[in-house]
Each structure stands twice: as structure tokens, then as C-alpha cells.
Amino acid sequence: MSATGKHSLLYGGVIILLLIGIASFVAYRFSDSMQQEFDQTLSLQIRKQGLFEDQIRVLLNRYYILRDIVTVEDAFDKDDLIQRHRSLATEFYYLRLELEAMPLSARDKELLGLLIEQTRKAYPIQQDLVERSIEETKPSHYQEVLDNIQPVLDEIYVEVMLYRDEMQEITEREINQARELYKQGWVTILVSYVLVIFLGIIAAVWIILYRRKRQQELQWLAAHDSLTELSNRVAFERAVCQQINDALPYGVGSILYLDLDRFKYVNDSCGHAAGDELLVQVSNRLKSVVRHSDMLARIGGNEFGIMLSGCDIPEAMRIADKILSALSETDFVWDTKHFEVSTSIGIAALDTQVKDFKQVISQADAACYTAKDLGRNRIHIYSESDAESSRRATELERVNQIRYALENYGFCLYRQKIEPLNPDLPRHYEILLRLLDEDNSIITPDMFLPEAERYDLISKIDLWVVQQTLNYLKTNEADHDVYAMNLSGKTLNDQQCLNEIVTEIKKSNVRPNILCFEITETAAIRDLSNAGSFLDLLQDMGCLVALDDFGTGLSSFNYLKQLPVDYLKIDGSFIRDLKPESQDYAFVKAIHAVSQAMGIQTIAEWVETPMVLTYLKDLHIDFAQGYHIARPEPLIIVT
């Protein structure tokens, strides 16, 4: 069983145990409450019956004492009996009050009223007999009275006993009802308990099945492209690696790399919905061409990969030809616009010479780009002897490394101090980018930035650098230190990236006046209008602007008037071998003089010796940067 399945079972078991615990607790509280209610009902009925019995006992005792009063002759004994007869009346009164204070049913109250009525009927007769026994000394006389009223008293006695019997029946009936309710309550508890457990098991099973289904969906999504429902790049890489590890010793295969021609034109002219529909139609057409044993995947925006198992290059060529023919027959229509569908296909051998996925996909990708360069809608086979394909493969391998670094923090930042030569000026740092290789060795920018520029990844890199620098400054912001970041020429023409940079600055709450953006001289003059607009926006926000590598381009001071620049960074080629009475010295002196007149501060690059630093101070250059000042150091970013 997989770890996910075990986790789902454990999750379901915990839910069942939790429901059992809750059900047991509720059942215990309910049964305890039900037991208390039953005990109270039983105690109430017993007490009520007891009080009624006590009242009847008092009435009977009064009747018996009355007979003794009539028959006794001793005056003292008679007086004692009379006192007892009267005290029983008081006892009856208090018993009646206690009974009336209890919760009684309508019939209980009715019987109590009848009992009291009978006592009221007997009272004058008994009282008369007692008074005569006190006043007269002839027992025969009040014996005669007793004999005359005996039938009335017997009748009262019979009525009282009937009331007692009925009260006993009522009490027994109510106790039996309480017992029945008690039993029904327990039945309800047991049924509810079993029902809760049953529902808990059903819920747990449902959760287990739902989680398993959800996990399967997530696994499917992790391995498939949601738009075309083809395998994605991750699944394609996994399958190719499996083929390399297991199948290659016993056979060969081929990789087809497809890149749709003029796909960007469809997107730009009709929108992304049209592009998505084109991808779906192309996917369906490809499915009808490839074999069941082949693996078809969408591995990029408009790029597809096909792994042909057990298929040599000639057979791969035949399948690729079928694909070209099938797509050429596809007429894509969107809003009355017709588009021809074609693709460029690169083929690479999947044989024992292949070491890993990165190698073979770079080869196929390079062959595909060669096919595009040769005119599109054609097939090109990768060959080691093909210098262009080889160069392209190496280049694309680096591009894939850059893409991976952007997604997995494969870049790191350094900073290099820019020393103010005037003590009144703030200290500066330039942010420098490095790429980490697979063994964590450092790759310098000159080894990867050209590929990033060529494959339109440089704007993403610039944005990443800005984001990470702002993250660092959120917790390490000094009072006056200025941090400079480089922006490429392509970024200056990428309005979306520029908008995101502005948004990141505003969102970070970092003070804009410690942020400096460096652009090269050639990038600025290539598109003076766009560069000027963006730099104006940065300065309006409070940011600083530096023009980098000044002197390597046209070196025209005229366009400086059109650019909002705070610093000029004099290119290191003029600084490295600086000495008096040289052309470099005169050029640097002229740059500084013009900059000073325009209110622009100067920064000298490549300062590597104490002597050069001395000359720069003599020229009153504002800042110096180079290995003599400080070497780059890692920028520690706490996320």
C-alpha cells in the first residue's frame, strides 16, 4: 500500500475513533441525565404516595382514638386521648400542605380535594362526639350517639380507602410510565450510538475514497497538461529517463521535438483563446498519428515532445513526415480568419550514447531550431558533426539551466562596495548576479546572460533580482547606503516587466531613495523614448538612475540631456590603465567635467591599483569601484 493510501486509512480511522468518542460522551451524558430524571420521578411518586398514605393513616388513627374516647372511663386517660385526637388534626394539616406543594397531576389534585372534603364531613361529627364525652359522664349516652353516626363514619372510611387505592394505581402507573420511558431512552441511546458509528464508518470510507480520488486527480494533473490532456514535461522527462536506464541496453529509440510555426502570430492577432484552441486541435491531430507505444507530451508553450520507443532514425523520419503531412492538412479557422498549421521538427537519437534527459532533449531542441532557421515546416536530425546543432544544443542546455534556476532559486546575489571619494557622499553597493551550477560552483554572468537575452529570459531575471534585493533591504536597510541593480535593454522594452518592478517597489515599503537602477549606455540610446519614460517614472518615485559602461557606445553627451540620470559609470576600459597625460586620462577628465556641469555624479569602474585610485581623486571623481576597493561578497537574504 502506498504512503498516501496508508495516510488516508489512518485519517479515516482517526475520524471513526473521534466519532466513537463523541458518541460515547454524548451517550454517557444523556444516560446520566435520563437516570437522574428517572430517579427524581420515582422519588416523587413514592413520596407523593407516602404523604397520601400518611394522611389516610392520620384519619384512621383519629377514628380509632374516637372509639377509645367513647369507651374509656378514666378522666385522665380520656383527656390524653382527646389531646392526641387534636394533634392528629394538626399533623394532617401539615401533610396536606406538603402534598399540595408537590407537582401534582389534575387527578392527584382531584383526589386530594375529595380526601379533604371527606375530612371536613367527618370533622363536625367527631368534634360533637368529643365534646359530649367531655360534658357527659354517662357512657351509654354517647355510645348511643356513636352507634348512630357509625354508618356515616364507615361510609367516609370506605370512600377514603377507595381514594387510597386509586392513588396507588396512579402512582404505579406513573412509575411504570417512567420505567418505560427509561427503557425507551436506553433503546434510543443504543440505536443512536450504533447509527453514529455506522454514519462515522460511512463518512470515513467516503473521506478515504475522496482523498484517494483527489490524490489520483492530483497525480494526473502533476503528470498531464490541463489544456491538451497530454503528458507534461515532468512526465515526459520521467519516461525518457526510464527508457535511458532500462530499455537502451536492449534497443534504441528517438526523440521528436516539435515547435509550432508562427504560433505567436495566432496569439497576437486573435488572442490566447485562439492559441489554446489551436494547441488542442494540434494535440488531437498528433494523437491520431503517433503509435500507441509512443509517448506524446506538451513540453512547452507551443512545443511538443514525442518519445518513439524501439524506433531508429529512418523510422523516426517516416513518422515525422506523417506529422508534417497531417498538420499541413489542418485548416485552423478563428473568427473567419484562416491559418495554415505547420511545425518544425528536430530529431535526436535515443541510444547508448545518451547520458541523461538533459542531453537528448537539448539535442532535439537544437535540431528543431535549426529546422526553423532553415525555413520552418521541415525536419532536421541532430548530428555531432553538425556544428550549428552542437552549438545550439550547448546553448539550450544553458537555457534550461536558467529556467530551472528561476523556478528553484538557482541564482544567488553578491554585492560589491562602491566607495565614495568624497566623505560627504553615501556609500553604494552594486548587486551582482551569479548562477549556481549542479555542484554549487559559481557561474559568472558572461557565461549565461547572452543566452538569457537571446531566449527572452532576461526580463524575468531582472525582476527576480529586484524582488530578492527588496527582500534583503526590508530587514537590512541602512540609513544612507544605496543599492544599485542592473536592468537590461530588453527589460526597458518590456512594459509588463516594468510595471511589475514598480509594483514590487511600492509593495516592499523600502525607501525609493536608496534604490538605484543601472542601464547600459547602448541600451539607453537604442530606444531613447522608452528608456526616458521609464527612468522619469523611477525618479518621480524617488529612485536613482545610473548610466553604466559610459564611453563604450556613441558617447554623445547630447542624449544625456534627454535622460534623467543621477550617476555616470565610466567604463573600466578607460580606468584600468589610467595615468596622467594619456588619452584615457583626458577622456575621463572631460566626462567628469561635463557630468559636473549637468549635476551628474561620476563612478569609476575597474579600480584595481592604489595608483589609479590616487589619479581618480586628483580628477575629483565622486565614486570608485573595483577589486582594489572591495571584492564582491555574498548577499545573505533571510526569507
Q: What is the distance between the alpha carbons of residues 615 and 587, in angstroms, rounded to a whole number?
A: 13
pLDDT at 63: 74
Q: pTM to 2 decimals?
A: 0.54
Residue 220 lies in a domain: no
pLDDT at 370: 86
On whether both 41 and 138 belong to a single domain, the answer is yes
Residues of the chain with pLDDT under 50: 554, 639
- Looking at 366, 395, 424, the residue that finishes a domain is 395
pLDDT at 319: 94
| C-alpha cell of residue 116 | 379533604
Residue 216 lies in a domain: no
Residue 80 CB contacts under 8 Å (≥ 6 apart), including other chains: none
On whether both 47 and 176 belong to a single domain, the answer is yes
| C-alpha cell of residue 630 | 572591495
Sign of the CA dihedral 618, 623, 624, 630?
positive
Contact 365, 346 (CB under 8 A): yes
Residue 208 lies in a domain: no
- Looking at 395, 425, 459, the residue that finishes a domain is 395
CA distances from residue 171 to 107, 181, 364, 455, 562 in whole angstroms, order as listed:
11, 15, 97, 97, 108
Tens of pLDDT, residues 579-614: 998 999 999 999 999 999 999 999 999 999 999 999
On whether both 60 and 126 belong to a single domain, the answer is yes
b/e map 79-116, b = 16+ CB within 10 Å: eebbeebeebeeebeebbeebeeeeeeeebeebbeebe
Q: What is the distance between the alpha carbons of residues 516 and 544, in angstroms, rounded to a whole number?
A: 4
pLDDT at 308: 92
For residue 24, the number of C-alpha atoms closer than 13 Å in the C-beta half-sphere is 6
How many domains would you assign to the chain?
3
Q: What is the distance between the alpha carbons of residues 45 and 273, in angstroms, rounded to a whole number?
A: 82
On whether both 265 and 366 belong to a single domain, the answer is yes
Residue 350: domain span: 233-395
Secondary structure of 231-252 as H, E, C letters: ECHHHHHHHHHHHHHHHHHHCC
Residue 154 lies in a domain: yes
Contact 315, 381 (CB under 8 A): no
Residue 421 lies in a domain: yes
- In 3D space, the residue among 121, 114, 76, 81 whose CA is nearest the CA of residue 96 turns out to be 114
On whether both 174 and 290 belong to a single domain, the answer is no
For residue 377, the number of C-alpha atoms closer than 13 Å in the C-beta half-sphere is 10
Mean pLDDT of the chain: 83
On whether both 429 and 541 belong to a single domain, the answer is yes
Let me know if 192 is exposed, middle or buried by CB neighbors in 10 A (0-12, 13-18, 19+): middle
pLDDT at 556: 59
Residue 214 lies in a domain: no
On whether both 477 and 609 belong to a single domain, the answer is yes
| C-alpha cell of residue 152 | 356515616
Domain of 518: which CATH number? 3.20.20.450
pLDDT at 106: 79
On whether both 274 and 383 belong to a single domain, the answer is yes
- Pairing of β 623-624 and β 601-604: parallel
On whether both 391 and 413 belong to a single domain, the answer is no
Domain of 50: which CATH number? 1.20.120.1730
On whether both 568 and 592 belong to a single domain, the answer is yes
For residue 330, the number of C-alpha atoms closer than 13 Å in the C-beta half-sphere is 23
Domain of 374: which CATH number? 3.30.70.270
Residue 210 lies in a domain: no
On whether both 272 and 128 belong to a single domain, the answer is no
On whether both 380 and 484 belong to a single domain, the answer is no
What is the longest distance spanned by two Cα atoms in the chain? 167
483, β-bridge pairs: 429, 515
- Looking at 371, 395, 419, the residue that finishes a domain is 395
Residue 572 CB contacts under 8 Å (≥ 6 apart), including other chains: 605, 606, 626
Residue 34 lies in a domain: yes
